[in-house]
Amino acid sequence: MDVETSKTIVVAMSGGVDSSVAAALLKDQGHNVIGITLQVWPEGAESDGQGCCSIDAVEDARRVANKLGIPHYVMNLREEFERSVIQDFIDEYAEGRTPNPCVRCNEHVKFRTLLDRAIALGADYLATGHYARVIEDSDGLFHLHRAENPAKDQSYVLYMLGQEELSRILFPLASLTKDETREIARRYDLNVWSKPDSQEVCFVTKGNVKDFLTERRPELARVGNIVNLEGKVVGEHTGTAGFTIGQRKGLGIAASEPLYVVDINAKTNEIIVGPLAALMVSSVIVGELQWVAQRPPATVMAVTCKVRYNMPTVPALFRLYEKASGPTDKRNGFGSGDLWELRFENPERAPTPGQAAVFFSGDEVIGGGTIEKVVRSTDYTIGAPLAEEMRA
């Protein structure tokens, strides 16, 4: 979405190269640009300097703003981040699920709290360094599309954006590659032009995820059994927090064939392992559905989907699985508690409860939700009518 006339635009500056270039491009277009960095780092936490919105990242953002000649402010959202992102992260792991904290941060902090505060400050738009596109149609509906460069597309973590948010959000890097972004930053002589991307969970500042979880929730370090698919004990673990579905290394099990984590039972404190074939999943049940342009399917809909960030889109069928008993949205007849099913054309490896399932029509993001459970291919056969729909 392009903005031709001069506007007041708040740029969420994380201290990285992407948001820095977003601010530079908007300023060059003649907009009144204000940089805001979120202070979400837990008070007293140590930093390795690489995390998004870390203490060091705040300083990087401030230096970039000074270089560009734009005002820069730090907004303290520690409480919101702790409640909506960190506590959710811990609670999900305690339930044997694997959450995506970037999705929760985008939903509850960056594109809700920050956007609300930016508008309250008189801004016309909020801009970020995400690689995605917003397109407004002739009816005034806003659509979220994948970035022009598929290798850097970040639309997967933005599926929760609705009409209100998309009407106020700009993604200035939508048509750029990462190399082009870095080159622009170098030309502007921004100190972050060669700064590496943050890859890890931003608030895990020392040690690993297991260390963080067991420090905050010591019961997650309880010793328990590792069992095979038949329920036989084949090993011992020192806490379910140290495992994710699909994991092979670090099991400490001698076996005649490679074994993988295929399930985590938080109630019994057990890690379930099995062969590679046991990771193959025919469908996932998805909850907490959110629709970008308010267009849920009436019956069965052919889509492409992603159930992990770093994967290509794959064909699937999408349909209502279970109607909730709660209130129904008058606009589309569906309830927020409804469950939906994504049936893959071919079994997918290790979709994981707690992760996001996002579905597309071509390059457009239709919506997405949270994987609640999986149906393994060994337990499931596509019936003839559905197979015919899939081929059609």
For tokens 């200035």, the residue is 172
| Residue of 53, 102, 202, 305 marked catalytic | 202
Q: Strands 364-376, 356-361: parallel, antiparallel or unpaired by DSSP?
A: antiparallel
Of 338, 340, 344, 323, the C-alpha closest to 386 is 344
Helix, strand or coil, per DSSP, at residue 262:
strand
Angle at 151 between CA 148 and CA 154, to 5 degrees: 75
Residue 368 DSSP label? E
Distance (Å, rounded) from C-alpha 94 to C-alpha 220? Answer: 7
Active site residue 105: yes
- The end-to-end CA distance of the chain, in Å, is 34
Distance (Å, rounded) from C-alpha 157 to C-alpha 105? Answer: 10
Distance (Å, rounded) from C-alpha 358 to C-alpha 289? Answer: 9
Active-site annotation, residues: 105, 202
